[in-house]
Structure 1
Amino acid sequence: MAAETLRSLLGRVRYEVLPAKATEEKVLAHVPRDVVVTVTASPVKGLEPTLGLTERLAAHGYRVAPHVPARLLRDDAHLKDVAERLRAAGVDDVFVPAGDADPPAGPYDAALPVLRRLSELGRPFGELGITGYPESHPLIHDDLTIQSMWDKRAHATYIVSNLCFDPRVLGDWITRIRRRDITLPVYVGVAGPVQRAKLLAMATKIGVGESTRFLTKHASWFLRFATPGGYVPERLLDRGAEVFARPSAGVAGLHLFTFNQIAETERWRRAVLDRLDT
């Protein structure tokens, strides 16, 4: 059962990438066209690098889900412009977090008002993702993050769970949100086979990007990557397979945080699938 679950999950993946200079080249070289690519946004550089990379990858035939953080939107006109630009590029899937920009660039300080406004604009995107926090958010109480998902459920179509290294915590969180009648499908957020030295180099070089910023707030997580045997993605997935396989869990697939180690992530995925097929 665990092998079947792992094979299924690895066949339904999303790769989160940061909009760095070499990202487009790496995606083209290593990511199959049937893998959804999600592009983060920087509170320092703004939305333009995200939008530009999204347009180029979409033109190459990828299904792209850009991050559009609420706090990076200057005003209602900016939101409309972003939506129109993405629709013109053929994008039908957008991930809307609150974002880290402090202070916000405009009137939106949380994701819900943006989701509501997109509904008022006629729901220009078929898919809208929101964030879930299996491990506690550094600034928001757990009850509030779950209430937030409840409030967003009428506008969003799926949840992406933030990084978590404990299958028990993931399972408990999924059970908890389902008990609250939050029925949106969940993409389980998992770090790929990250090399700590490369991760540190990426964090130092870019210094931005929601996934990198969130990780740097949790220094103990670096130890998981550094300790021999401390973190192996398939071990986490194998231990959580029983929960992930339950129909009641509503797990739609995996959201793999690549931290731009794109080639390494795809090689790992293919190697695991090959092992499962032998």
Structure 2
Amino acid sequence: MRNKRTAATLTRLLENARYEVLPTASTEDKVLEHLPRDRTVTVTASPSKGLEATFDLAERLAGHGYAVVPHVAARMVSGRTELEEIADRLLGKGITRIFVPGGDAEPAGDYPDALALLQDLAAMGSPFSHVGITGYPESHPTIHDDLTVQSMWDKRQFATHIVSNLTFDPTLVRSWVQRLRARGVAMPLLLGMPGPVERTKLLGMATRIGVGESTKFLAKNKGLFARLAAPGGFTGESFLEKCAPALGEDGALVEGLHVFTFNQVGETEAWRTGMLERLRG
């Protein structure tokens, strides 16, 4: 039996959940069929598809009335001229929020990492009202922990919020949030978690599509996938309940969820609304 404080924390997180989708041919239809217009949708960037697929889907969803956050993967942008063109294009469609990961591609030009692109955005007058950067509760498969922490610290002055990568361990979430507080990081945080994905298909989907940092992260961390796929090994509701005590301590810091749907949009929205109904009932 959860207490009132935990229920209030869970309700707040679920009400402030946004959905990450992959830019495939069926994504637009899935979003239109299953998501009300008040949901925020983020669109990943794929080295194989290029940024055009991300921006095209983002623009179409924005045209339908959704708040959209395209991923502008730094290594996929050639330099300042292209970045200015991207900003003009997105702002022209009313898209004022972006997420800036480094990305998994080899650098296409001047940006070896997210920080370099963020610095150019600042030099351009910070044209976007909301800019998200990545946080890593789990160890990154290719970057030392000290570097990920320092990188987030360096990027904080150019961003408005942090989006955590996938994690399935509530203990790690609690300690990570405490470390952020201890370092004086005050910008809002969105906690990354998977939606109710068909577990046995998840790794194959990640490898086949190869879209976005979330799928690459999971594919490179097969131990985490084993934990996710094991019967009883992970459920979103149990994960959030175990995280809630730490996340409820500072609502201004942990403001909501970033749900990796892997394009199971209908299932994810049904899970979210069902859990909210149980909390309110």
Interval of TM-score (by shorter of Structure 1 and Structure 2)? over 0.9
Q: How many residues align?
A: 277
Residue 7 (structure 1) aligned with residue 36 (structure 2): no
In the alignment, which of 213, 218, 229 is matched to residue 215 of structure 1? Answer: 218
Gaps of 5+ in 1: none
Out of 110, 113, 118, the position equivalent to 2:113 is 110
SS of alignment partner, residue 154 of structure 1: helix
Equivalent position amino acid for 1:55 in 2: E
1:192-203 equivalences in 2 (<5 Å): 192-203=195-206
Structure 1 residues 152-197: Cα deviation after superposition (integer angstroms, max 9, x where no partner): 1111000001111111101101111221111111100011111124
CA distance in 1, matches of 2:10, 2:38: 18
Alignment deviations for residues 57-82 of structure 1 (CA, whole Å, 9 cap, x no partner): 00000000000010000121111111
Which amino acid counterpart does residue 108 of structure 2 have in structure 1? A
CA RMSD of aligned residues (A): 1.3
Deviations along 1:183-223, whole A, 9 cap, x unmatched?
11110001111112442453354233321111111112332
2:168 alignment partner in structure 1: 165
Residue from 24, 27, 46 that aligns with 1:42: 46
- Pick from 154, 157, 169: which aligns with 2:157? 154
CA distance in 2, matches of 1:63, 1:219: 33
1:65–1:248 Cα change, 3 Å: closer
CA distance in 2, matches of 1:265, 1:138: 27
Measure the CA separation in 1 of the matches of 2:203 and 2:130. 33
SS of residue matched to 1:253: strand
Deviations 1:75-130 (Å, cap 9, x if unpaired)? 2111111111110110111000111002x111101111111111111111000000
Amino acid at match of 2:79: D
> What is the distance in 1 between the residues matched to 2:162 and 2:217?
17
Q: Which deviates the most, 237-246 or 208-217?
A: 208-217
1:33 maps to 2:37: yes
Distance 1:198 1:32, change over 3 A: farther
Aligned to 2:245: 242
Give, in angstroms, the shift of residue 240 of structure 1. Answer: 0.9
1:12 shift after superposition:
0.1
Instruction: Label 1:70 to 1:275 Cα distance change in 2 as closer, same or farther (>3 A).
Output: same
Q: Please say if 1:175 is aligned against 2:178.
A: yes
Q: Which residue of 2 aligns with 1:99?
A: 103
What's the counterpart of residue 271 of structure 2?
268
The whole-number CA distance in structure 1 between the counterparts of 2:184 and 2:121 is 23
What percent identity do the matched residue pairs reach?
56
Amino acid of the structure 1 residue aligned with 2:273: R
Letter of the 1:268 partner, please give it.
W
d(CA) in 2 for partners of 1:246, 1:149: 22
Is this contact kept in 2: 1:160–1:187, CA < 8 A? yes
* Normalised TM-score (structure 2): 0.95
- Specify the SS of the correspondent of 1:105: coil
- Note closer, same or farther for the CA distance 1:200–1:141 as it changes in structure 2 (3 Å cut): closer
Q: Compute the displacement of 1:149 (Å).
A: 1.4
- For structure 2, the 5+ residue unaligned runs are none
Higher mean alpha-carbon deviation, 204-213 vs 227-236, is at 204-213
Aligned residue type for 1:170: V
